[in-house]
Amino acid sequence: MNTEKTGIAIIAPGGYVPDSDLQRAIGVLKSRGYEVFNYVDPQKRHERFAANDEERSRQIMEAATNPDVKIVIALRGGYGTTRLLHDLDFAKLAKSGKLFVGHSDFTVFEMALLKHGAVSFSGPMIQSDFTRGDLSAFTVNHFDETMTSPETSLNWVSKDNPDVDVEGTLWGGNLTMLAHLAGTPWMPDISGGILFVEDIHEHPYRVERMLLQLDEAGILKKQKALVLGHFSEFKLSDYDNGYDFNAMLSWLRSRLSIPVVTGLPFGHTKDKVTLPVGGRAHLMSKAGKIQLDIGDYPTVR
C-alpha cells in the first residue's frame, strides 16, 4: 500500500486533546506518508469541547471541500457530535467523496452519512490510536490497507458462537450512540444488514437494555446478524450476583430472533480494525472460527 501524498484532514467534532498529543499524532501520520491538514486549533477550546459548535461544524465542512484532502479523521470521541447534526449539510458531505473515519461519539455522524447513502469508516481516531506511545501496528496497518484496498477480510476465533452464513450491508458502531439515535431522523433504515456494536464503561445490564431498545424499535429484527466487538472497562459488583457479560449474552441470544456473533476486533481497545460502514459484507461463523469479508466501499485510489 502507498499512502504517500494522500491528504488526511484532522477535525474535532467533539472533545479536545492536549496539543502535545495532537502534534505527536501529526508526526505519526506524516511518517506514514500522509499529507496532514490540521483544522484543530487548541486555542479555541470551549468548555469540554475542542471549539464551539459553529467552529467544529466549520472544520468539517472546510475539510470536506478541500480538494487536496482524501481522508477526514476525527480527533477523538467523548461527546459533542450530536450537537452539530442540524448544522451540517449531509447531502453535501455525502457527495464530497471524502473518507470519513472515527468511532465512539463519531458514530452519529456516520449514521447520518449512511442515511444519505454514503459509506464512512468506523476506525481509529487521533486520540488515542495515533497518540499512543505503544502505537498498534495492527491498527494503523489495517487502517492504511482499508483506505487503499477495495476489499478486506477479517478472521478471528471466538468460542460458543452459532453457525452463520449471511450477507448484507455492514453497519453500526458505538452502541450508546446507536440507541441514542433510535427514533430520530438521523438513524438509517437498514434491512437485511449485519449490525456491529461496541462500547466502553457500559455494565452488562446497560448493554442488554440498549440492545433491547434497538430490538423493540424494530431495528434488530430487520438484521441478518448482530456482531459484538469489545465491551471494555466496566466493573461488576457483588449486587450482580453472577450476572456478568456471558450471562447477559446467553439471555440475549434466547430473546433475539437473529444470531449474535462475538469477538470482532473492534472497540475502545489498542488493536482495532477499520470497518466500512455501508459496505457489503459476508459473515461466516463455524466451529468458533469467524470470517468477515467486506467489499463495495470507496478508497483513496
Closest Cα to residue 269, out of 78, 124, 111? 124
Closest Cα to residue 279, out of 124, 147, 131? 147
Q: For 233-293, give the DSSP string.
A: S----GGGTT--HHHHHHHHHHH-SS-EE---S-SSSSS---EEET-EEEEEEETTEEEEE
Partners of residue 94 on adjacent β-strands? none
Q: Is 145 a residue of the active site?
A: no
Q: Is 57 a residue of the active site?
A: no
Q: Rounded CA gap, 142 and 271, in Å?
A: 10
> Beta-carbon neighbour count of residue 293 at 10 Å?
17
Catalytic residue among 180, 202, 268, 285: 268
Catalytic residue among 57, 104, 120, 122: 104
Q: Is 151 a residue of the active site?
A: no
Catalytic residue among 198, 202, 208, 230: 198
Q: Rounded CA gap, 181 and 197, in Å?
A: 14
Task: Answer whether 276's CB lies under 8 Å from 292's CB.
Answer: no
Query: Catalytic residue numbers?
Result: 104, 198, 268
